[in-house]
Amino acid sequence: MAFKSALEIVNGVAKITLSGELDAAAAPAFRTDVEKAAAAKVKAVALLMKDLEYMASAGLRALVFAKQKMGTQTTIYMISLQENVKETITMTGFQNSVTFMDEYDAATIEGA
């Protein structure tokens, strides 16, 4: 499945919907959305990942880039991860830099 990344900013939260396979070829599209969110100075980033089927090391690098670009004051939420994607993230220890959620919770994320 081809990778897609869609950015929407709502109530100071950048919602980035990811689908398909986040690999080296797809990472630039994701980075572009991250840069747009950072420029908007959002308070949180919600990565909606239920349709993201695969993440390669390039995808992990893009996530690290997102965390660096947003800074420590911005929380990154990873929502509805498929098990294999979650496993990839936890193998690297990156789960310590983000917050996993099963579903989008507006009270928690937008109230952040």
Strand partners, 15: 8, 46
Residue at 84: amino acid letter: N
Which position has the token pair 């939260």? 13
This prediction has a pTM of 0.91
pLDDT value at 69 more than 90: no
Assigned token pair, 85:
């994607």
Would you say 98 and 86 are in contact if contact means Cβ atoms under 8 Å apart?
A: no
Dist CA 76 CA 66 (whole Å): 9
pLDDT tens for 19-67 read: 999 999 999 999 899 889 988 989 999 999 999 999 988 888 888 888 8
Question: CB 73: neighbour CB atoms within 10 A?
Answer: 8
Domains and CATH numbers, the chain: 4-105 (3.30.750.24)
